[in-house]
Amino acid sequence: MSSIRCVGIVGGGQLAVMMTEAAHRLGLQVEALARCPDDPIFRILPNARVGDARCEEDLQWLADRTDVLTFDHELIDHRVLARLEADGVVSRPGSCALSVAVNKQLQADLFTALGLRQPDTIVVSDVNAALTAIRAFDDAAVLKTATGGYDGRGVLLDVSESVVRQWFRSEVGTVLVQRREAIADELAVQVVRGADGIVAGYAPVRTVQSDGMCSYVSVPGEFDDSLERTAITIASQIATAIDVVGLLTVEFFVVDGELMVNELAARPHNSGHLTIEATRTSQFENHMRAVAGLPLGSTAMVVPAAAMANVIGGLTPAARGALFGDEVAVHLYGKRSRPGRKIGHVTAVADSPQEAIVRAVRAANELQTTV
Ligand SMILES: Nc1ncnc2c1ncn2[C@@H]1O[C@H](COP(=O)(O)OP(=O)(O)O)[C@@H](O)[C@H]1O
Ligand SMILES: [Mg+2]
């Protein structure tokens, strides 16, 4: 039996909420360190504290009250965490895995060390070097901040000179200039690694992005069997290499029929939300099981197909009263409207992924409005 009774979540967004719901079902207690007083976590943990995830004292506050720390975002300082670990604080994933998860440059180095195919990348730290690198890719390039980006916010897809110059005027820090790949499809794989090192994989999902942000996801991904198996093997290999305990998501591109690794996240992920309805054990429950040192649950699908669509921006006035019957499961996060912000998601289960996508996207469109 695990001796862990109480989990401390660093972060207070929707991932923290869904982790907490899963933890409560497992009989675990949860404390959280939120970023703002209106974070979704306060709806279920009114005593959560607002603090700075990069601040040692705030992390120590959480560690003092809990048996293990875990995370719902990457905006942390792994060196601060490493200091706490040296004092005996248990963190899952640990500072070593998080140091890679928070930094796309280190991710690229890891993929190279593991011999994995990825977009050609040149690392730069100023605008002139970036413009030279873009030319080296014949102007077919994508710029990414090494740290701090999410939901396409740290990604620049328009690399015309004036836009690049403007972008560098904000604090972008170290930047990865990547060859813009002719991506045929995108997929994501969730694997969960227990405290004992055992890894279990979920069925790969097909993801569709617009403006660099995930729009919808479907499963089965209907990729080539060997491609799906390879993706799960690669994700498992990465989880073991960086010693993740908990959920790991790896995003891939399919280019010329082959996999390229894009990036990773060492936490439950938007592309895995449909595991709540579509699998025996959701990504959130399996993350909490791993973090608490409990045996992992089955990752098998319990429906023929499912799709998840994000609800982005704001809610239509009718949204809260909307009745979708059996069409979709609605998850609203209780977040304020903001352009481009994920404020909820819907999941549809169906006999085919195509049918599930139609239902999920239709419901998301009925719920959301641009703000
Ligand atoms: N090298 C690339 N070539 C073509 N498209 C890319 C490339 N890198 C990223 N993209 C597009 O931008 C999206 C977001 O990039 P990603 O690195 O995953 O950033 P984020 O951390 O915001 O998810 C990807 O899902 C893909 O659609
Ligand atoms: Mg991504």
CATH code for the domain in which residue 153 is found: 3.30.1490.20
pTM equals 0.96
Closest CA to 189 of 250, 139, 125, 238: 250
Q: How far is the CA of 87 from the centre of ligand 1 (A)?
A: 38
Residue 173: pLDDT over 80: yes
Q: In this structure, is residue 255 part of a structural domain? A: yes
Q: In this structure, is residue 114 part of a structural domain? A: no
Mutational test site, ligand 1, from 74, 151, 155, 180, max ligand atoms within 8 Å of CB: 155
pLDDT tens profile 77-130: 999 999 999 999 999 999 999 999 999 999 999 999 999 999 999 999 999 999
Asked whether residue 195 falls in the same domain as residue 174, the answer is no
What CATH code is carried by the domain that includes residue 23? Answer: 3.40.50.20
Q: Does ligand 1 have an atom closer than 6 angstroms to the CB of 152?
A: yes
Asked whether residue 228 falls in the same domain as residue 249, the answer is yes
**Ligand closest to CA 148:** 1
Mutational test site, ligand 1, from 183, 215, 216, max ligand atoms within 8 Å of CB: 183
Contact 187, 260 (CB under 8 A): no
Q: Does ligand 1 have an atom closer than 6 angstroms to the CB of 209?
A: yes
Band the pLDDT of 150: cuts 50, 70, 90. confident
Q: Does ligand 1 have an atom closer than 6 angstroms to the CB of 310?
A: no
Q: In this structure, is residue 99 part of a structural domain? A: no
pLDDT tens profile 10-28: 999 999 999 999 999 999 9
Q: In this structure, is residue 113 part of a structural domain? A: no
**Ligand closest to CA 150:** 1
Asked whether residue 357 falls in the same domain as residue 230, the answer is yes
Asked whether residue 228 falls in the same domain as residue 299, the answer is yes
Asked whether residue 189 falls in the same domain as residue 70, the answer is no
Its domain, for residue 133, covers 120-179
Contact 285, 22 (CB under 8 A): yes
Q: In this structure, is residue 98 part of a structural domain? A: no
Asked whether residue 214 falls in the same domain as residue 167, the answer is no
Between the alpha carbon of residue 276 and those of residues 214, 301, 302, the distances in Å are: 18, 10, 10
Asked whether residue 255 falls in the same domain as residue 241, the answer is yes
